[in-house]
Each structure stands twice: as C-alpha cells, then as structure tokens.
C-alpha cells in the first residue's frame, strides 16, 4: 500500500463557483472578486484556495460570507504559496524524511537508494544551493538519483494558492466571496478615425477596448468592468514580460459596454461575460459612430518651444528657427449632436483616409488623453507634405534707457498643392517682455492668450503668401 506524503500542500480544497468579477484599471492592475465554497469544521481548520493570480497582493485579500446563516468565519493566518509544483519544492517539503531515489546506470539498469533529505537544495523564491542527502551510512552533497515521490495527492498545489487558518463557529459548506488586488491585468482604449476622400470632413469613429492578462491565471465566464481615470496606486516595481496571443471579438449588435460615472472616474461594464486567458490580449468593440463632423486645418508654429520670459529678453538671436513644417490638426466636438457625447478614456487614435478606390489607408496616429463629453477632441496628424513655412527676423532694436524694444518678423507660407487653396493658422508667441503692442501687420490677427497671437492666412494653390508684423515691447 502506498503511503501519502504528509505535505503542507495536501489540504482541504475550496470549490470553484462560476462567474468571477474583474475590475481592470488603466495602470496595469485589477481587483478580482470570486465566489468559492469552503469546507469548514467547527473551531480552527486549515483551508486551501487554489488557482489564484500569480501576481496577487496578499495583503489586499478580503473574505466575505455570502450565506444567509453566518458561520462567523475569521482568518487567523494566511500564507500565499506562489511556487509551482517542482521536484525541488517537494524535496524541500520532505526535509528530514526518507525518500527513494532511482539511479540509472550506463547499462540501462536501475539501482534504488533510500536516503534522508538533510537539505533539499531548494530555496523558496527560485534560488538553490547544494543538496545534502544521507544514504548508505554516508552523507553526500548531491542527489543519489532521480527522486521518486510515492502517493502524491492529485490535489497538491499546481497553481498559486492561499492557505488559511480559519476559525468558524460551526461546520459545513460556507459560500464566500474572495476579493483581492492583482498586478498583471491592464486595459486600454484604441480608436479608429476614418476620414472620407479628400474634400470631406465627416468621419467614421470606432473604439476598441484591449484587455491584457499577464496574471498567470485564466478567467472564464468573467464579468468585466473597466475603470477609466488616473487612480493613485503605489508602484511595487513589478516588470513582467510575457508573450501574448491576440483575440478579436465583435460586440453583439447594439450591445456596447455600459458607461456611468463612478466616484471621480468613469466605469465601463462589458455587456456579456468574457473569457480572458493568461498571456492573452483580447479586444472588444465599445464605440461605433458615423457621420461625425470635424474640422481639419493647418498650423504653422515654428516657435512651439518658445516661452515668455518673466524678465526682459533682449537677445536678438533668441527665437530664430529653421523649422519649415506645417502641421495638420483635426478638432471634433465630443457632443451628442455630433453622434458622440460619451466620455472617451485615454488611448491610441489611428487615422485612416479613404482613397479614390474606396480603400482605407493608414496616415498616422496620436495619443488621446481622457476626454469628458462635451469637450473638444484635438488631434495632431503630423506634417503636410506640400506646405512649407519660413520665419525670419527682418528688424530688431532695443532702447534700454527708454525701456522699449521693437521687432519685425516676416513669415513666408508656400502651398505646393496644384489644385487646392488652403488656410494656414500661424501661431506667434510674444515672449520678450510683459507688455506688447502690434504696431503693424499685413493680415488680421487675434489674441490667443496673454502672450500669443494667431493669424489665419489664405494661400492660393501653387502660391505663396508673405506675412509680416511688427511688435513693440515695453517694460
């Protein structure tokens, strides 16, 4: 008759119940709530709950009874066992006991040894040292063969587990909810903005939720909630690196995730349970809109990094630039009357343009920060190939006695599109002193803020427009 090995691993098992709930946050962590059934005895008992996340934070574990008649369960002691079942771990559990070893000889025969495990060589956490085995009246610093573990209970730890010392007022099957925080789960939003052929600014807008699971655990038939917002959490320094499988799922028609405010954040609930396997990247559509109107325009801002100096800046060379690129931007009102009007969580926005053959071509991408409804979505699409700007200083003077300064700027804007006239918005920061006045300008301008002005300059197809202005500073 085979003898069962008396391992700490061989403890009463907590049964699964279906329907775990997972709430995933933007920043790579999640809260997990699972229903389990514990086999309790009156008084103190040891219970094992297996198949936990490998990145579970043990000090976050909470246990709540679900039954109508309470058992008065209290956790007296908790251990989180996160080592996989290996030869080293089993030898570690058997230190001080005799184990059978099989030595395979060169002629193919097997010789058996029995030895006492003085030191297994296994160190919890993945490290190791030289084993010590007492066999045949001698001590050796190596294993005398392959260890044979007889009568291993099939319920032994194969997955990360919690081991509890529980106190209960009565015996029986106690349904509980186990809740904890885990690293290794994250989500992000990705968006696709499809623009029509040249000449139109009515877009198709779609959004996807990407769920990534790197916890070492599969989640089956899981109710998933997503928290959008910047939730403060201390960084524990984990840097897990895993390969992933990608799974795409189209949401059931007219069954998009439900969105609502939650505390200072926004919460999205997926419309049906999903399965998120370990090392899997799953995507679910959460937003679809057509007929979204937007404004596409061009911006020349060569002094994008220039800043207003609190003190006088009389350096004539400050602000000189060789930047010639003209940027392309899109603005979209996130409002219900524009087919949107929903909070948009931060994520990546990919831009596509419909070609004359009806096919969609990728033309760029941008990062989108959390955007409340009724706010304006602003996207930078890179630079226009056929538009060029040149900025130079044509006059500069400073009179420190009179505390005044004058500067004249010339900006040339060229449009190399053969058939299309454009308007370019020119952004000019007035950074030299606190007080300024535009004394001359070749085009109308508006005050953008206290130290910035904006010109809107039309440029004909295959043409050039020269913009000049003079600004007087005083202090």
Of the given ranges (251-260, 396-405, 434-443), which has the lowest mean pLDDT?
Answer: 251-260
- Please tell me the distance from the alpha carbon of residue 466 to that of residue 389, in angstroms, as a whole number: 10
Residue tagged 């001698």 (tokens): 138
282 and 218 Cβ atoms separated by less than 8 Å: no
401, β-bridge pairs: none
pLDDT at 252: 34
CA angle 425, 427, 428 (to 5 degrees): 145
Average pLDDT over residues 444-463: 93
441 and 468 Cβ atoms separated by less than 8 Å: yes
Which of 4-8, 205-209, 268-272 is predicted most confidently? 205-209
Convert the pLDDT of each residue in 193-249 to its tens digit.
Answer: 998 876 667 899 999 888 899 998 999 888 888 887 655 554 544 333 333 333 333
- Please tell me the distance from the alpha carbon of residue 266 to that of residue 251, in angstroms, as a whole number: 20
Convert the pLDDT of each residue in 61-108 to its tens digit.
Answer: 999 999 999 999 999 999 888 876 778 888 888 899 999 999 998 888
77, β-bridge pairs: 165
96 and 119 Cβ atoms separated by less than 8 Å: no
Is 0.85 surpassed by the pTM of this model?
A: no
- Please tell me the distance from the alpha carbon of residue 443 to that of residue 465, in angstroms, as a whole number: 10
227 and 343 Cβ atoms separated by less than 8 Å: no
Binning pLDDT at 50, 70 and 90, where does residue 149 land? confident
191 and 39 Cβ atoms separated by less than 8 Å: no
- Please tell me the distance from the alpha carbon of residue 114 to that of residue 436, in angstroms, as a whole number: 94
- Please tell me the distance from the alpha carbon of residue 27 to that of residue 48, in angstroms, as a whole number: 30
Which of 15-29, 263-277, 370-384 is predicted most confidently? 370-384
pLDDT at 362: 87
Convert the pLDDT of each residue in 111-130 to its tens digit.
Answer: 999 999 999 998 876 678 99
Second CATH level (architecture) for the domain 15-84+156-183: Sandwich (2.60)
Is it the case that residue 414 has pLDDT exceeding 90? yes
pLDDT at 368: 84
Residue tagged 């691993």 (tokens): 9
Convert the pLDDT of each residue in 30-54 to its tens digit.
Answer: 999 999 999 999 999 989 888 899 9
**Residue extent(s) of CATH 2.60.40 domains in the chain:** 15-84+156-183
Over the chain, what is the mean pLDDT?
83
CA angle 177, 242, 59 (to 5 degrees): 35
pLDDT at 86: 79
Backbone angles phi, psi at 87, to 5 degrees: -60, -45
Binning pLDDT at 50, 70 and 90, where does residue 423 land? very high
């Amino acid at each position: 008759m085979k003898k069962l090995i008396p391992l700490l691993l061989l403890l009463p098992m907590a049964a699964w119940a279906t329907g775990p709930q997972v709430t995933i946050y933007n920043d790579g962590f999640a809260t997990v709530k699972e229903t389990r059934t514990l086999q309790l005895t009156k008084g103190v008992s040891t219970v094992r709950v297996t198949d936990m996340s490998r990145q579970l934070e043990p000090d976050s574990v909470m246990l709540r009874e679900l039954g109508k008649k309470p058992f008065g369960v209290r956790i007296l002691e908790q251990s989180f066992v996160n080592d996989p079942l290996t030869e080293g771990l089993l030898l570690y559990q058997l230190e001080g006991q005799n184990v059978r070893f099989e030595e395979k000889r060169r002629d193919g025969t097997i010789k058996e040894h029995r030895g006492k495990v003085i030191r297994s060589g296994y160190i919890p956490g993945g490290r190791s040292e030289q084993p010590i085995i007492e066999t045949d009246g001698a001590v050796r610093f190596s294993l005398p063969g392959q260890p044979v573990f007889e009568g291993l209970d099939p319920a032994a730890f194969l997955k990360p587990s919690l081991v509890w010392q529980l106190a209960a007022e009565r015996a029986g099957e106690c349904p509980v909810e186990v809740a904890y925080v885990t690293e290794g789960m994250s989500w992000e939003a990705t968006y696709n903005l499809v623009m029509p052929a040249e000449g139109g600014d009515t877009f198709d807008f779609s959004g996807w939720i990407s769920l990534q699971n790197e916890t070492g655990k599969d989640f089956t038939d899981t109710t998933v909630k997503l928290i959008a917002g910047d939730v403060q959490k201390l960084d524990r320094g984990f840097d897990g690196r895993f390969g992933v499988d990608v799974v795409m799922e189209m949401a059931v028609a007219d069954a998009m995730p439900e969105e609502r405010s939650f505390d200072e954040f926004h919460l999205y609930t997926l419309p049906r349970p999903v399965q998120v396997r370990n090392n899997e990247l799953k995507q679910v559509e959460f937003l679809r809109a057509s007929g979204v109107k937007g404004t596409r325009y061009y911006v020349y801002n060569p002094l994008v990094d220039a800043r207003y100096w609190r003190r006088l800046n009389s350096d004539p060379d400050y602000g000189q630039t060789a930047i010639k690129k003209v940027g392309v931007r899109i603005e979209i009102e996130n409002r219900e009357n524009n087919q949107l009007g929903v909070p948009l969580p931060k994520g990546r926005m990919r831009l596509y343009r419909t070609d004359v053959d009806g096919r969609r071509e990728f033309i760029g991408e941008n990062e989108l920060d959390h955007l409340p409804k009724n706010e304006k979505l602003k996207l930078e699409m890179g630079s226009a190939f056929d538009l060029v700007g040149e900025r130079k200083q044509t006059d500069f003077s400073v009179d420190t006695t009179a505390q005044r300064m004058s500067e004249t700027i010339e900006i040339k804007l060229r449009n190399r599109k053969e058939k299309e006239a454009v308007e370019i918005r020119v952004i000019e920061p007035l950074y030299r002193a606190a007080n300024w006045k535009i004394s001359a300008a070749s085009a109308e301008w508006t005050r953008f803020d206290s130290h910035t002005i904006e010109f809107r300059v039309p440029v004909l197809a295959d043409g050039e427009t020269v913009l000049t202005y003079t600004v007087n500073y005083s202090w």
